[in-house]
Homo-oligomer: A and B are copies of this chain.
Amino acid sequence: MADKVLIYSRFPKSMMARFAERFELLDTGGKPACELFSADELSGIRALLTAGGTPLGAEAMELFPKLGAIVCYGTGYDGVDLKAAAARNIAVGHSPGANAASVADIAMTLMLATTRRILVADQYVRSGDWAASRQSPMMRPQAGMPGRRIGVYGMGEIGRKIAARCAAFESEVGYFSRTKYDLPYQYFPSLEALADWCSVLMIAVRAGAETQHVVNADILKRLGADGYVVNISRGSVVDEKALVAALSDKTIAGAGLDVFEKEPHAPDALTALPNVVFAPHIGGHTLDSHVAMQSCVLANLTAFFEGKPLPYAVRST
């Protein structure tokens, strides 16, 4: 009999196909497990598959008395209460690095689309305004990439890939992270100092309680009127109300956002703004990235059911 895996978050069926070949899947579709399955069924569950951003606390874990593994699809695990898991000896796994290139690429896409105003440009052509030679203040030339100061917040695998890409665009790259690394980019000892220096802030930090609303009104003000924010980490890192205010009153020039505080909702005050480019949390959403993430999930689940340590375990910090 196939080992059972409860699908705790809402995932498209197509993303689960490879797992269904190896395991018996109990799919909640993101709904409360206790509404869909009997207590008896849940009591036998030893492994969960979840999205890292989905809240999964001590109380939820208690529904599954035999739970031994929480496997996150993707690199993030900010929704999982690691202390509660550790207290119950539940292993937590993720897919480190598997989507790093894909996420770095959406960061670059959002930065270029925002600074080169590609939404406005596309509309200017499609509407016939270009053919009619109508003036568009939004189409005035802006600063380009050579010599632009890009500040990368967080120097994990995604941050490094963003930095390498920006360097190829002939931009200056600086970064802030808890640790100073041996990297050919200027290190700043605080987020404030990085924001004072850079004109584009790329948020690539691992999210958690200590990064909640770290990008606030003060940081945005430091970026200045020519400044841009690109967030591909988690919505929680940015104070979304302060961001709406800064974009509305031109404290900063624009933003590119793949993540939001309450997904899948982006506030109306934000989506009404013309100087933002939005994406629906598709950073890791490429074919190659999904294959790589699924391989990590399969390796984690297989090892767990064989009684081995997870090969892609979350390390407590």
CA distance A105 to B264 in the complex (A): 31
A139 to B105, Cβ gap below 8 A?
Answer: no
Which one of A32-40, A44-52, A106-114, A304-312 is at the interface?
Answer: A106-114
A289 within 8 Å of B (CB atoms):
yes
Asked whether, in the complex, the Cβ of B164 is within 8 Å of the Cβ of A288, the reply is: no
Nearest to A104 among chain B residues (CB) is: B169
Bound: A124/B167 CA distance, A: 31
A11 lies within 8 A of chain B by Cβ: no
A167 to B165, CA, bound (A): 9
Chain B residues with Cβ under 8 A from A141's Cβ?
282, 285-287, 289-290
Extra inter-chain contacts (19) besides given A10-B133, A110-B118, A147-B288, CB under 8 Å? A105-B116, A109-B116, A109-B118, A113-B113, A118-B118, A121-B279, A121-B282, A122-B279, A125-B266, A125-B278, A125-B280, A126-B266, A131-B264, A131-B265, A139-B282, A141-B282, A141-B287, A142-B287, A168-B168
A146 and B109: CB pair below 8 A?
no
Name 15 interchain pairs, CB-CB below 8 A, sorted by A.
A105-B116, A105-B144, A108-B108, A109-B112, A112-B113, A119-B119, A121-B280, A122-B277, A139-B282, A141-B287, A143-B286, A144-B286, A144-B289, A165-B169, A168-B168
User: A125 to B145, alpha carbons, bound, how many Å?
Assistant: 27
Beta-carbon contact of B121 and A116 below 8 Å: no
Q: Which of B125, B133, B142, B266 is the one whose CB lies under 8 Å from A286?
A: B142
Task: Report whether A139 and B280 are in contact in the complex, using a CB–CB cutoff of 8 Å.
Answer: yes
- CA gap between A288 and B122 in the complex, in Å: 22
Mark contacts of A1-40 with chain B using CB atoms, 8 A cut-off: 1 yes-contact digit, 0 otherwise: 0000000001000000000000000000000000000000
